[in-house]
A and B are shown apart, each in its own frame.
Chain A
Amino acid sequence: MWWGFALWGLAGAAAARAVSCAEAIPRVKGPPWRWPNGPGGGLYALSVILHCFVGMSVTGAAAEQTGEFRHALIALGLGSAASVALKMLSGYTLALLPRPPGGDSAL
């Protein structure tokens, strides 16, 4: 039942996003997605969907390839890890790009 583990991966990615959001709320004293403090509501929602999709896909594929996991907790962790990996990869990609004149907030 690889899809069951894929759902656990989705839950893991969602949990990682929830923690990230919870961390940001006190810092900005408001909705962290609001531009220019955050990326904007639509883009933030899209990024959450992409994070969850990646967590689900990676976990589902791993479950299918390995003949399922011994523990659903592993799937949960893999989903979170996939989300964190996506975040890091995006950060590295961003670092390679030229910064827009005036900084990110000027976009």
Chain B
Amino acid sequence: MTKLGVFFYRLLLALADATPAFRAQPELVSVKLGRRFLMAIAEASPAFRPPPVSASSPAEIHPQPRLAPETPPASDIRMRHPGPGWGRHLGFLAPLSAALSVVVITLSVLLVSRFTGQSLNAGAGNPLISVASPYAVLYSPGSSAAEDAVFSPDGAALAVASGDGSIYLWTLATDAFTVLADQEGRGAPSIAFSPNGTVLAAGNRNGTTYLWNPATRKLVTTLRCPGAGPINAVAFSPDGKELAAVSKSASGSACIWAVPRGTRVASLPREQTGFSSAAFSPDGKILAVGGLNGVAYLWDPATSAMLGELRVGELSSISSLAFTADGTELAVATSSNSTSLWNIAPQRLIAVLVDPGRGKGITAIAISPDGRTLATADLDGNAYLWKLDTAQLIATLSDPNSDGITAVAISPDGRTLATADLNGSAFLWNLPATALSTPVPAPSTRRVPRIVSVTTYQQGVLVYFNIRYTDPSHNAEGFGFAGVNGSGWAEENHPFSDPSYGIPGLDSIAYPFNLACGTSQQYSSEVIAWIYDTAGTRSQPATINLTCK
């Protein structure tokens, strides 16, 4: 046998525990260790002798070794008897080796627990997947309940608003915090970072909205909405140029200011109800405001025109609102323990997610940046993660303090969830990979737009093509074309939202080409054109002959 062969043979012996030292594996380890332990005790104490092990006792009923039984070499037999070295300490070896294995197992568990932040029983009882205990705990020094928590836009800090009026600004990399405190100490039920992170707005129970510079911890300005009671929610527009603040006063008050100047640009119509929450759509064209009467109002922030009302619950108030990343859907949480998912255009109810808790009411919701995961939190002390596309509950996170959770936020990278509770603590959780996965739609379910007809028409020197297409999955994003057969048109792609010279219609697009029609230089051309969807997948191209009539 070659050296390499010997090496692998001996490695196999080691892997299979097939050397004489390890060859007793058919015997139950526990029986073996227990018998050795008893024998060790017997040797140490002459007064105690274990009963002789009969052939029919379980310890002697061994299956035959799996490996080919053969008479072991003399050297093997010799090794089974106490040698001059360790053999003297036979009485200690069994308990020592048992203790060694216990130590190794315990150390392994402790090390992995510490390294991963997971306890060994992590995940027990969760609906589908395990979410470990929080990997960080931010204990606010004050004794007041946390009222809101938001991540900074760069994800490096977490701001936690406390009921005593303090705002704790945690730097997550160092676990250090700074405090922003209003002078009156009446609490900030809602806080929000501007999209560029330079302003932190805090709506206060005294009816004032404070704008802070989080870098310098200086108060930039204060804003007051006429007639406003305690400010319940603040929200920045996506471009960061406007700030909406809504009040819980019975007459209802909602103002929009230009920031950071603090000039009031709009006051939304009063609705004879207080407001509890506010959220701008990602394109900034809709301001959704949740009413204490269970109605979510959709306003155009530019004109203050009412765009619609979503009647969510007659007997409950709206506690939180959140738009999906693409702005097509709005999640509305109510105090009646359900979160409803609404399509914005047309306005229709898509799904209702019922909180599995004991029914103390949902306090906050957040949607992940990719728009696939919804986090809800309730006063029972649980936060839940839901898959938005299937409305399926995927995980439960229980507040370690067993207190009601008052705020929930998802980091900008979508990997961390923050919860804050009535005890004033904030917890950071690693979101499970399942919640983060970005499933690719199955080919059978995602249908690409299809061109159904192509016509051309002439206007002056221009010849237009007019493409009609079907869009079964409602995901057509734009159109494109390129010259073929010697035509010099370079490839162009334009979204329907910015179609260049194109004229989008209902499932149609027209685009002009200057063929110098009616002049001495008029010419013909040939292009292929296509429709592409949100995933960038193109339809089957259509070949179009462009000629002057």
Chain A positions within 8 Å of B, measured between CB atoms, are 1-4, 7-8, 10-12, 14-15, 18-34, 36-40, 43-44, 46-47, 50-51, 64, 67-73, 76, 86-88, 90-95, 97, 99-100, 102-107
Contact = CB atoms under 8 A, between A and B. Distances in A.
B70 interface: yes
The CB with the most chain B CB atoms within 10 A, among A12, A29, A47, is that of A29
Contacts of B70: 99, 103
Contact of A39 (B10, B68, B89, B97): B10
Contacts, number: 228
A37 B13 CA distance: 11
The CB with the most chain B CB atoms within 10 A, among A10, A31, A93, A103, is that of A103
Interface string B86-105: 11011001101110110011
B101 A21 contact: yes
Contact of A64 (B9, B12, B120, B433): B433
Interface in B1-52: 1, 6-7, 9-22, 24-25, 29, 32-33, 36
Given A36-B75, A94-B12, A72 B118 contact: yes
B112 A22 contact: no
Contacts of B6: 107
A51 to B, nearest CB: 7
Contact of B124 (A37, A38, A71): A71
B500 interface: no
Interface residues of B, number: 73
Given A67-B432, A107-B1, 11 more contacts: A15-B101, A36-B20, A39-B19, A68-B434, A71-B122, A91-B67, A92-B66, A99-B68, A100-B9, A105-B72, A105-B75
Given A68-B129, A70-B126, A107 B10 contact: yes
7 contacts: A8-B116, A8-B120, A47-B14, A67-B437, A68-B123, A69-B123, A91-B16
A106 B109 CA distance: 40
A102 B76 CA distance: 12
Contact of B72 (A39, A44, A103): A103
